[in-house]
Amino acid sequence: MDSYKEYYEVVGEKPNSLVVEALKDFTTTKSKALDLGAGNLRDSKFLLSKGFKKIVAVDKDEVTRKFLVPKIDLHITAIEDFIPETNTFDFALSCNTLFFLDQSRVSRILHRVFAGLKPKGIFVFNVLGNDDDWVLQQRPVYSYSDRELETLAVRIGYEVLGLGEGRYNSYFMSQEGPLPKFWHQLSLAVRKP
Ligand SMILES: C[S@@+](CC[C@H](N)C(=O)[O-])C[C@H]1O[C@@H](n2cnc3c(N)ncnc32)[C@H](O)[C@@H]1O
C-alpha cells in the first residue's frame, strides 16, 4: 500500500532539517548510520551525500524499496521488531515516525539504538508534543512533554545535546490532499557517552 505517496511527492528529496542541523552542529565519524522509519529514504540519501559509507534503513512499508540506491541496506520490518547490530552506528535518526508508537515501544527502541551506537554516536529523533492537533483529537498517536522526553533518554544513559520545540500551523498530507493542522513537535539530539 502506498499510503505515503502524497507525502513523498511533497517532501521530495529534501532532507529533514533536524538531520541537516545535527550534522552541522555535532561532529561524528561517518562510517555507518541507521534510519528508522526511512520512508522515501530522503535522509538516508542525504547522509550518503555527506560521506557516510553505509546506511541501514528500516521501514515497514514495501514502498520504500522503490527508492532504494546502492549503499543502503533496507530492512522491511516494524522498527519495534528490528534489533540493530551492537556498537556499530556513528549516527542514528528517526524523523516523523516515533509518534505512531506507544511510549513503552519508544523506550525499547531507544534502548536498542543506544546498544547499536558506538561510543560518541549520536541519535536524533522527533515526537509530538502534548498540544499537537492529532493528540488533542485523540488520534492514534503518542505525545510527550519536554521533561518526559529528556528523562526517558537520560534514564537510558544518553547525554542530551539539544532539545528543540516547534509550534506552528501548517498542513499534513492526507490521501485526499493537504489538510490544515497545528503541529507541536519536540526533537531531541542525544549522544552515547
Ligand atoms: C511520515 S513518514 C516519515 C518518513 C521519513 N522519515 C521522512 O521524514 O520523510 C513515516 C514513516 O514511518 C513508517 N512507519 C510507521 N510506523 C512504523 C513502524 N512501526 N515500523 C516501521 N516503519 C514505520 C511509515 O511506513 C512511513 O514510511
Which ligand 1 atom is at minimum distance from the Cα of 93? Answer: 6
Banded pLDDT at 31 (limits 50, 70, 90): very high
| Residues of the chain above pLDDT 90, percent | 90
Tell me the CA–centroid distance for residue 143 and ligand 1, in Å.
16
d(CA 102, CA 109): 11
Beta strands at 32-36 and 54-59: parallel, antiparallel or unpaired:
parallel
Average pLDDT over residues 105-133: 98
d(CA 127, CA 166): 11
- Cell 535518526 belongs to which residue? 93
Residue nearest to atom 10 of ligand 1 (CA): 97
- State the average pLDDT for the chain: 95
Contact 91, 47 (CB under 8 A): yes
Mutate to test the pocket of ligand 1, among 17, 41, 56, 60 (most ligand atoms within 8 A of CB): 60
CATH code for residues 5-191: 3.40.50.150
pTM: 0.97
Tell me the CA–centroid distance for residue 7 and ligand 1, in Å.
11
Which ligand 1 atom is at minimum distance from the Cα of 42? Answer: 9
Ligand 1 pocket, residue 6 CB under 6 Å:
no
Banded pLDDT at 1 (limits 50, 70, 90): very low
Q: Has residue 58 got a pLDDT over 90?
A: yes
Beta strands at 117-129 and 89-94: parallel, antiparallel or unpaired:
parallel
The string of pLDDT tens digits covering residues 6-15 is 888 888 999 9
The pLDDT value recorded for residue 27 is 82
Contact 92, 43 (CB under 8 A): no
